[in-house]
Amino acid sequence: IRTWSKGEGDYLSNSDYIIVHVLENAPSSETVTPIYTDSIAAHYKVWTIPSTSYRDGKVFDSSYKEPFDKDLAVAARFYVGGGLIDGFTTAVQNMRRGDVWEVYIPYQLGYGTEPKDDIPGYSTLIYKIMLIDHWSE
């Protein structure tokens, strides 16, 4: 588990930080992370936490089709400071090219209390993010 905005033992609420499970580390030669004014290319999949209605969680968006094929998948492109949810923005600003993370985002850093499209209000989100590239515009 990694935290960037709090020191160890400073946790006051689970609503102001994300939880990261590193699935794959970037090569050690990659040392630079995107900043707020950068753009990124990434593969991602997002779903809600498991519930009685959705035993494995409900997938509501993905940049690729399962099973993932790196030769066929086209990475999504985002401006980091361009209206992404806070939890996603926090995660990608701490990733390096080649990192693959599973990120748990509380509703306060996601879409909040109101439903948005297929996402129920108060949804904790799980993202699988594969950072392919980042650049300054």
Q: How much is the mean pLDDT over the chain?
A: 90
C-alpha distance from residue 108 to each of 7, 16, 133 (Å): 20, 7, 27
pLDDT at 53: 87
pLDDT at 13: 66
Note the pLDDT tens digit of each residue in 63-105.
999 999 988 999 999 999 998 999 999 999 999 999 999 999 9
Count the alpha carbons within 13 Å of 85 in the hemisphere toward its beta carbon.
22
The residue assigned the tokens 């390096």 is 96
Note the pLDDT tens digit of each residue in 2-20.
555 555 665 556 667 899 9
